Amino acid sequence: MKKIVISTGGGDAPGLNAVIHAVVKSSYLRGWEVYGSRSGYKGLLDTDELVRLTPEMVAEITPTGGTILGSTNKGNPFAMPVQNMAGEYQIVDVSDRVMKNFTRRGFDCHIAVGGDGSLEIAQRFAAEKGMPVIGVPKTIDNDLEATQLTFGFDTAVSTATEALDKLHSTAKSHDRVLVVEVMGRDSGWIALNSGISGGADVILLPEIPFDMAKVCAKINDNEAYDKHYAIVVVAEGATAIGADKVCKDGGEIGRQEECLGGIGEWVAKEIRQRTEKDTRSLVLGHLQRGGTPTTFDRLLALRFGGAAVRLVAEGKFGQMVALEGNGMIAVPLEQVIGRRKKVPMDCDKILTAREIGICLGD
């Protein structure tokens, strides 16, 4: 009998529960046990936070958003924020404690479900501590280079597109410019896909530093076609030419990445000043992470979970399951981390956006 522990780390994504479902069902059919580590590595730091996962517990979770195990983006065991007696936070390496509990509980493998940051932690445990690890790629941003797609992305794009569809009517009713900020960090996949599908006039991507003069020229040009409103989609990591990324004030202790946010309001203010048009901004934010996963994301997540268990059976540790074409492959974790997938400038979607008259700010 094998004992597997599964964790979900980083930002949540629609489809996480489907991965858990597939791992548990696939394992129990082999006669194995599965445990869940709550809130990332918390269950391996405090074994009271470990939960035995049975087929009955996961029977109906596939269509449910979020993760039954909880998640965190501030739980790196190699740099864990710990509060001392004085109430001050110190960054402490507790990775040895995680490894000790992993060994003491008799686990044969850790299936780590996460994005670039979570998979980097898993790879460190594999390389430095000898932990048998299998990675499963998770991010709504679709920015992991080693896999064709990540689950959660399709749902996030569908949510953003639905929002844009609804915004057209209110923007038209008031002759208003609406600027919609979407997630994606330093990759523009969500902005590009939803912007094209949702009929945006302007799409601003992290891959293309934008010129506000050209953005405003596109909005003013709409008047020549008797269109007195505009929809602008901006990725949270987009920047104006010569400017820095816009981030929220203050950082969270223990958070691995900068907290982006605010570029939508900045763009709206510039448009308002330059065109004198009524301009508003809104941030879709965590709406893109929540809700029921689409059929595509459910199936992809189930396939990832099943493929991860197959790798455990084959003893292929230190790997991440990835989608390539119509099948699943294994990619060494060291080839995954630190490689963010950007929107290529010669891809068909960029060409399509330009050909149908969408301004990309350049």
Residue 249 is a catalytic residue: no
Rounded (5°) CA angle 110-331-313:
45
Active-site option among 12, 141, 143, 154:
141
Q: Is 260 left (phi over 0), alpha (psi -120 to 50) or beta?
A: beta
Q: Token pair 């679709």 is at which residue?
A: 142
Sequential DSSP letters for 118-146: HHHHHHHIIIII---EEEEEB-TT--BTT
Euclidean distance between CA atoms 150 and 13, whole angstroms: 10
Report residue 140 as tokens: 């709504």
What is the phi/psi pair of residue 265, to 5°? Answer: -65, -35
Q: Please count the other Cβ atoms lying within 10 Å of the Cβ belonging to residue 107.
A: 20
Ranges assigned E (strand) in the chain = 3-8, 33-37, 50-53, 80-83, 89-92, 109-114, 133-137, 177-182, 202-204, 230-235, 279-283, 319-324, 327-332
Active site residues: 141
